[in-house]
Amino acid sequence: MIPDPAVNIWAQTKNSLYPLYKERAEGRLPEMDCHAQAAEIYADYSLPEDRLLDAAGGSGYFFWSLKQRGLLGHYHLLDQTADFVDMGRRALAAELPPERFIVSSMQETPGRYEAVFCLNALFCLPDYRQGLERLLMAAGRLIILRSTFGERNEIRYETDPYLDPGAERLKSYFNIWRVAEVTAFMESYGFAVHTVVDRRTNDQPEISAGKLFPWRWLVGVKS
Ligand SMILES: C[S@@+](CC[C@H](N)C(=O)[O-])C[C@H]1O[C@@H](n2cnc3c(N)ncnc32)[C@H](O)[C@@H]1O
């Protein structure tokens, strides 16, 4: 289920995300607010030998937020965009062995991890269920999600101004998932779920590229 790069919108961001993700993986840009918050949420649950999965983690720059806080565990990056994973593998070669960088879709998440992170990515699935189910099945103790959550499901399949010239015909999902439904879904896999206020937006919708992003956190702890 790894999409052909020709139709993977993320592989059509050579002018926008590629340079940004490279610099982030090299640790040359300031930390993202939400990555700082994810690492701080995790700090309350962390154990030194934890296997960690950064699902749909781009080029793996969340690693630096964990490292800065001494939360190393055994970090693994998974992403469906091979170029991003390669970028991370190269940039973090002095920090992590190459096998920690996995090209895969969330829907086929391999292995088991004590803690799974999925930051800023569930909104781009056509439906959250299959991807989230595989992450919940892979998560031994903890799952930390940041995505667009609201009062009702809203499918938004729209143009994306960040795509490279020539790729504008490819639309992208910017979906909003009903928070009560996703919470019940997570609970059905044995997780006790709580919300955390988003520090960057104070749970107020953020506008980016002309679209509203109601960022929220869901934290699932295996009960
Ligand atoms: C907005 S970026 C978020 C990257 C990073 N997690 C962050 O917080 O900055 C979304 C990422 O999800 C990846 N992605 C999208 N759909 C995916 C899927 N079904 N399985 C795995 N990765 C996916 C894309 O390749 C991209 O790197």
SS (H, E, C) 42-63: HHCCCCCCCEEEEECCCCCCHH
- 4 inside domain: no
223 CA to middle of ligand 1, Å? 28
Residue 91 Cα to chain centre, angstroms: 19
- 1 inside domain: no
- 2 inside domain: no
Along the 223 residues of the chain, how does pLDDT read in single tens digits? 798 998 899 999 999 999 999 999 999 999 999 999 999 999 999 999 999 999 999 999 999 999 999 998 899 999 999 999 999 999 999 999 999 999 999 999 999 999 999 999 999 999 999 999 999 999 999 999 999 999 999 999 999 989 999 998 899 999 999 999 999 999 999 999 999 999 999 999 999 988 999 999 999 999 8
DSSP string, 78-102: EES-HHHHHHHHHHTTTTS-GGGEE
- 193 inside domain: yes
Nearest CA to 86 out of 8, 10, 14, 22 is that of: 22
Instruction: Assess contact for 195 and 219: CB atoms under 8 A.
Output: yes
Q: What is the CATH number of the domain that holds 208?
A: 3.40.50.150
Q: Which atom of ligand 1 is nearest to the CA of 58?
A: 27
Q: Which atom of ligand 1 is nearest to the CA of 146?
A: 8
190 CA to middle of ligand 1, Å? 25
Pocket test for ligand 1, best of 1, 2, 4, 10 (most atoms within 8 A of CB): 10
- The model's pTM is 0.98
121 CA to middle of ligand 1, Å? 5
Give the domain extent around 86. Answer: 9-222
Q: How many domains does the chain have?
A: 1
- 107 inside domain: yes
